[in-house]
Structure 1
Amino acid sequence: MKSLILLLLLASSACLAARQVVLTATEFPPYTTTAQPQDGVMVALARAAFAQRGLDLRVEFRPWARALAGAQEGRFAGVLALWYSAERAERLFYSLPLFSTTVGFYARCDKQFDVSSLPGLQHYRIGTVRGYKNPDTFEQAGLRGIDADDDLINLKKLAANRLELALMDREVGRYLQEQQLDKTTPRLCWQEPAVEVMPLYIGFSKRHPDGGMLQTEFNLGMTMLRQSGEYQRILRRFRAVL
């Protein structure tokens, strides 16, 4: 009898574990960040979509290079909040987009730049982030990207005149400037026009045994989330940081 009870408990534990999805992400506020409720709007949307399918989401935060490698190598079921690239698609199943982000340039407010023609920016020092997918139009223009570990470092370098421009998501730049830069730092301004509108996705690992199944489950859950109106309700709850 005791053996039977033990077997039932083990089976129950295995079933519960099988219903948990473990993804990785990096600090990319306000989209994915431990500094915001529910770890940011992207995590909130993903968690709600998985919940539609009876799945529980757990997110482990890592530096971006480790997060991406962990998903590509199958140590995690997937990586949350990334832009599409054909190279990454060789190792990741892409989900339906969670929503689109606006990518472009920040500069010091006391300087003026014409960013309407990308080839005209070839002689400027432009901050980029190591391992991020830059817009195709940026790459095709042959611009001089100087890699840093994250967007916050690029904003600090921009403020210190070590860069002329910094390439990043508009809302990430706004959030970091308001929340993490010292108030005495020179003001940094978004430059119009944007370079590109780029959707954010979950990349599910092709090397993880559940990668393909979880892609399907997530896509079904996201469709249900949009149809029910919960998708827009979640976005409204986060409107103050988006």
Structure 2
Amino acid sequence: MSPKRLTLLIFLLLPLWVTAQEPKTLTLVATDLPPFYAESLDSFGPVAVLVQEALQRRGYQVELKFYPFIRATALIKAGKADAIIGLWYRTERENWAYYSRPLQGTEIAFLARKQDRIGYQQLSELKDKRIGISRGYANPAAIAGSKLHTEEADSDETNLRKLQLGRVDLIVISRNVAQYLIAHGPAEYQGQFEFVGEPLAKEVFHLGVSKTRAGSLQLLEDFNLAIQSMEEDGSMATILSPLSTSLN
């Protein structure tokens, strides 16, 4: 091939090569859930940092947007977002999302005001209590299948405020989230609350990949491979280490 023709061939193929080398951009969604991830946290929080680092290792760029949970899942179902950060496993969610390897766990428990001195052995003993739950979240099976009196609120912050004001007797909340909200809340929160009873559930965060998007299984495989490598090289534990203190 003559030098002139070779130059022409390179000129024609260069745009294709550049396009192939450009990072793939993903749209991820999440719901504010500090200290795990939230729009207000540095770098959007440890779990968000972990997810973005894993995807970047596999050649993806990430655009992360925060929405209420119901809106975020609607975008995933419609294929208008590629994946959701922090999806807890429920069988019915397999209809619209692939679950990644586990990312981080948290215990779900009852929180009460100390002054109310609430104790119980069986959930049935709480039938006269008003229990705050968060709208759109996957509540523990023990709560979902009970006949307890539950009241929905739009967020954990709202539920905590209602508890502090005595408008509910207990709230269902992640231990980590409760400890974060209390520590960063108003002065009157300090020393006022306690966890009651044994944990209701242990939930695990996953990346939920939209089944509607093209190449969803490839994205899932890429992400899982990156997470596995980060588990092995210790970087996953380092990124998530700020969360360990809130479990104490």
Is the shorter-chain TM-score for this pair beyond 0.5, marking a shared fold?
yes
| 1:42 matched to 2:12 | no
Shift of 1:12: 3.1
Identify which range, 28-37 or 115-124, moves more after superposition.
115-124
Q: TM-score, normalised by structure 1?
A: 0.89
Query: What's 2:18 paired with?
Result: 12
Does the residue aligned with 1:200 lie in a helix, a strand or coil?
strand
Query: What's 2:188 paired with?
Result: 184
Contact preservation (8 Å) 1:77, 1:210 = no
Q: What are the residue-to-residue correspondences of 1:82-231 with 2, within 5 Å?
A: 82-179=87-184, 181-185=185-189, 187-231=192-236
Shift of 1:25: 0.4
Query: What's 1:80 paired with?
Result: 85
Question: Gapped runs of 5+ residues in structure 2?
Answer: 1-6
Shift of 1:151: 0.4
Q: Distance in 1 between matches of 2:202 and 2:36?
A: 15
Q: Determine which of 75, 96, 116 is the counterpart of 1:70.
A: 75
Contact preservation (8 Å) 1:32, 1:40 = yes
Contact preservation (8 Å) 1:52, 1:224 = no
Number of equivalences: 239
Return the index of the structure with the highest Cα Rg. Answer: 2
Q: Cα 1:59–1:14, aligned 2, differ >3 Å: closer, same or farther?
A: farther
Q: Distance in 2 between matches of 1:238 and 1:155?
A: 20
Q: Cα 1:104–1:7, aligned 2, differ >3 Å: closer, same or farther?
A: same
Q: Distance in 2 between matches of 1:60 and 1:13?
A: 25
Letter in 1 for 2:108: V
Q: TM-score, normalised by structure 2?
A: 0.87
- C-alpha distance after superposition, 1:111-149 (max 9, x if no partner): 111244222222211111111001112222232221111
Identify which range, 99-108 or 228-237, moves more after superposition.
228-237
Contact preservation (8 Å) 2:47, 2:240 = no
Q: Distance in 2 between matches of 1:6 and 1:148?
A: 58
Letter in 2 for 1:144: H
Query: What's 2:3 paired with?
Result: none
Q: Distance in 2 between matches of 1:16 and 1:116?
A: 58
Identical-pair percentage: 29
Letter in 1 for 2:187: K
What is the aligned-residue RMSD (CA, Å)?
Answer: 2.3
Does the residue aligned with 1:216 lie in a helix, a strand or coil?
helix
